[in-house]
Amino acid sequence: MDIINARGLTKKFDKFTAVRGIDLSIKEGEIFGLLGPNGAGKTTTLSMLSTLIPPTAGTASVNGFDVRKEPSKVRASIGFVFQDPSSDDLLTGRENLYLHALMYGVDMKDINKKMDDVLELVDLTKRQHERMRTYSGGMRRRLELARGLLHEPKVLFLDEPTLGLDPQTREHLWKYIKKLSTERKVTIIITTHYMEEADLLCDRIAIIDHGKIVVTDTPINLKKKLGGDVVRITVNKPNIKSLKSLKYIKSTEYANGILTLAVNDAGMHLQEILKKAGNVESVESRSPTLNDVFLHFTGNEIRESDESDAEGGWSERMMHSGNK
Amino acid sequence: MSELSGLYALWYREFKVFIRERSRIVSSLVQPLMWLVIFGTGLGSVVEISGANYQAYIFPGILVMTVLFGSLFFGLYIIMDKRVDFLKEVLVAPLSRTTIFFGKVLGGATDGAIEICILLVLGQLFFGIHFTLYSLFVSLVVIALLMVAIISLGLTFGSLMSSPEGFGLMSSFVIFPLFFLSGALFPVKNLPSWLYAFVAVNPVSYAVDALRTVILRTPSGFGGLGIDFIVIVAFALAMVGIGTQALKRMKI
């Protein structure tokens, strides 16, 4: 049975539709990624699954509980790590954990042991008695990860867990997330707009764009769907016609002096391709990345530079709709 | 009982933060002391009301003022929590919103009670107030009820709004009339009838009247402590009712 199941899940805010009827079936124990640009509807989807906001249409169940009919049972069985900081700066790390344990009704006699365990898991035992305002971004995230596990949820939602962290800290955090998955057997749903993160971390990925799921599969299968390797050749006036006659070339595209080919077993055929291509300046052959997959399915590239802008616009929209 | 431990958790947070931010305690006492010492002494040098010196006369009113300003602004913290995801962390916990509401009220009332107790001691020591067990008890009950009412009002504003500026604007529109029309600073008996009408419909007036009746042992201006109590209890209940509804409907 699926631990999370959604059918036709839809959310409309005043004028715009954030999520347009998505279907999900997530299996117990997997790390499932929702990959998409900012404003694609990832956070809204998580908010509906965690009963923070009610869906406009469609149904969803988490751990067998309906998000509409049994929201408090859903909430008791999930953990959530939010995109923005959600701990109190004036309290220590351990105090923030204690608050959380109380709110989730963790048995009083187990609280101390469980706090020790999760602190150990994220290597924060040494800093647990310091106020959170002294924590770095990465430490704060780790504490919030630990907190999400404190009440032993079956499902853990991570909303953009590495947003705004430097690459080293990000990789460090992936290690912890993997560890949670293997040591605690918890199902993890993660939203991200980092290709690398989705690729390295997730067992399966759903690519989401404009509130719709475009495709769902394992990262390897998604890349296979593109049909082979990517060969990019910088060349003047390529002989595209003769290239197209080659069987192992799946697609050709020429723009701005760069020829992009999808090739089966590029290593074997590279010489022949270069001979036919014409006056080649440089060549690059690589396996397809998730970025190529994303481009292929959405026709858009995720641009990091849009990050802060789009994010601000999104949360403002949320706030305005909250005002009405 | 996760609702009960959740209630404790919310109270625990407010209390810890309050204790840690000592500047908050100090600043909450500066304003009432300025009123008592500067305004009270200043106007007291030319005015004497019903036999008491003016400083002692406004002491019950200043207690009410401290409750009004301190408690209402407690609602501002909800807006602060909205700005980051702390509020979501609370809302996604398996707690009913009613529990969340009462946790906040309890936390705010504890903070307020500490401030008030300091003022009561200062009143006894420096401002010519002589508390008896009876007057102390009645005062604390009246103040507690008023605190619950005003914190609920603040939480209502906090739930409805998303910007601190909006909250500030709205609260000054409400809090100043409640304060000035409560008779905290002057006797209301001789007011022109149009102004008196405002005072009579202001529930805060009854809190001031009750406090003044027991602390200064003067006759009640509204027909007795009983009536004062009925109005204050009704006010608190109404505000709690409105506040819980507002928090339940709060969107994020």
ipTM over 0.95: no
Helix (H), strand (E), coil (C) string for chain B: CHHHHHHHHHHHHHHHHHHHCHHHHHHHHHHHHHHHHHHHHHHHCCCEECCEEHHHHHHHHHHHHHHHHHHHHHHHHHHHHHHCCHHHHHHCCCCCHHHHHHHHHHHHHHHHHHHHHHHHHHHHHHCCCCCCHHHHHHHHHHHHHHHHHHHHHHHHHHHHCCCHHHHHHHHHHHHHHHHHCCCCCCCCCCCCHHHHHHHHHCHHHHHHHHHHHHHCCCCCCCCCHHHHHHHHHHHHHHHHHHHHHHHHHCCC
Q: In the A/B pair of chains, how many CB contacts fall below 8 A?
A: 89
* A206: its two tokens: 């759903």
More confident residue, A160 or A319: A160
Give the H or E element holding residue A321: helix A307-323
Residues B228-242 have pLDDT tens digits of 999 999 999 999 999
pLDDT of residue B1: 54
Mean pLDDT of B65-71: 92
Contact flag B89-A95 (C-beta cutoff 8 Å): no
Question: Does residue A311 surpass a pLDDT of 70?
Answer: no
More confident residue, A243 or A192: A192
Degrees, nearest 5: CA angle B169-B200-B213:
105
Check if A103 contacts B (Cβ < 8 Å): yes
Residues in chain A: 324
Mean pLDDT lowest among A79-83, A208-212, A243-247, B194-198:
A243-247
pLDDT of residue B62: 93
pLDDT of residue B33: 92
Question: Does residue A76 surpass a pLDDT of 80?
Answer: yes
pLDDT of residue A294: 82
Contact flag B2-A104 (C-beta cutoff 8 Å): yes
Least CB-CB distance to B92: which of A50, A108, A319? A50
C-alpha–C-alpha distance, residues B124 and B141, integer Å: 18
Question: Does residue A305 surpass a pLDDT of 60?
Answer: no
Q: Angle between the B22-34 and B2-20 helix axes, to the nearest 10 degrees?
A: 70
Residue of B nearest to A322 (CA): B251
Interface of B with A (CB under 8 A): 1-2, 5-6, 8-10, 12-13, 16-17, 20-21, 84-86, 88-96, 160-162, 250-252
Amino acid at A219: P
Bridge partners of residue A213, in order along the sequence: A208
User: Considering the domain A227-287, what is its CATH architecture?
Assistant: 2-Layer Sandwich (3.30)
Token pair 């805060």 is at which residue?
A: B204
DSSP code, position A288: P
pLDDT of residue A172: 83
In angstroms, what separates the C-alpha of B168 from chain A's closest C-alpha? 16
Bridge partners of residue A236, in order along the sequence: A279
Among A48, A103, A115, A321, the residue to mutate for chain B (most B Cβ within 10 A): A103
Mean pLDDT of B181-186: 90
C-alpha–C-alpha distance, residues A193 and A197, integer Å: 8
Contact flag B93-A75 (C-beta cutoff 8 Å): yes
Least CB-CB distance to B94: which of A53, A104, A323? A104
Residues B71-94 have pLDDT tens digits of 998 888 888 888 888 888 898 888
Mean pLDDT of A173-195: 88
C-alpha–C-alpha distance, residues B103 and B109, integer Å: 10
Question: Does residue A150 surpass a pLDDT of 70?
Answer: yes
| Selected residues 29-68 of chain A with any CB under 8 Å from a CB in chain B | 50-53
Least CB-CB distance to A99: which of B9, B88, B160? B9
In angstroms, what separates the C-alpha of B174 from chain A's closest C-alpha? 20
Phi/psi of residue B85, nearest 5 degrees: -95, 15
More confident residue, A309 or B89: B89
Bridge partners of residue B49, in order along the sequence: B52
Question: Does residue B150 surpass a pLDDT of 50?
Answer: yes
* Residue of B234, B189, B242, B168 lying closest to B207 (CA atoms): B234
Bridge partners of residue A190, in order along the sequence: A33, A158
Mean pLDDT of A197-223: 89
Mean pLDDT of B143-147: 96
Chain A residues within an 8 Å CB radius of B161: 323
On whether the CB atoms of residues A180 and A186 are closer than 8 A, the answer is: yes
Residues in chain B: 252
Least CB-CB distance to A84: which of B2, B85, B162? B85
pLDDT of residue B142: 95
Question: Does residue B180 surpass a pLDDT of 60?
Answer: yes
By CB atoms closer than 10 A (0-12, 13-18, 19+), residue B45 is exposed
Residue of A nearest to B77 (CA): A88
Mean pLDDT lowest among A20-29, A64-73, A196-205, A295-304:
A295-304
Check if A191 contacts B (Cβ < 8 Å): no
**Please, what is the average pLDDT of chain A?**
84
pLDDT of residue A189: 94
Contact flag A53-B12 (C-beta cutoff 8 Å): no
Contact flag A103-B9 (C-beta cutoff 8 Å): yes
Contact flag B86-A88 (C-beta cutoff 8 Å): yes
At A301, the pLDDT band (50, 70, 90 cuts) reads low
* A218: its two tokens: 């394992």
Label the pairing between strands A65-66 and A57-62. antiparallel
What residue spans define the domains of chain A?
2-223, 227-287
Residues B1-56 have pLDDT tens digits of 578 899 999 999 989 988 888 887 888 889 899 998 899 888 888 887 767 788 88
Question: Does residue A313 surpass a pLDDT of 50?
Answer: no
**Please, what is the average pLDDT of chain B?**
90
By CB atoms closer than 10 A (0-12, 13-18, 19+), residue A308 is exposed
Contact flag A102-B5 (C-beta cutoff 8 Å): yes
Residue B116 CA to its chain's centroid (Å): 10
What is A2-223's CATH superfamily? Answer: P-loop containing nucleotide triphosphate hydrolases (3.40.50.300)
Least CB-CB distance to B251: which of A72, A104, A321? A321
Phi/psi of residue A81, nearest 5 degrees: -115, 115
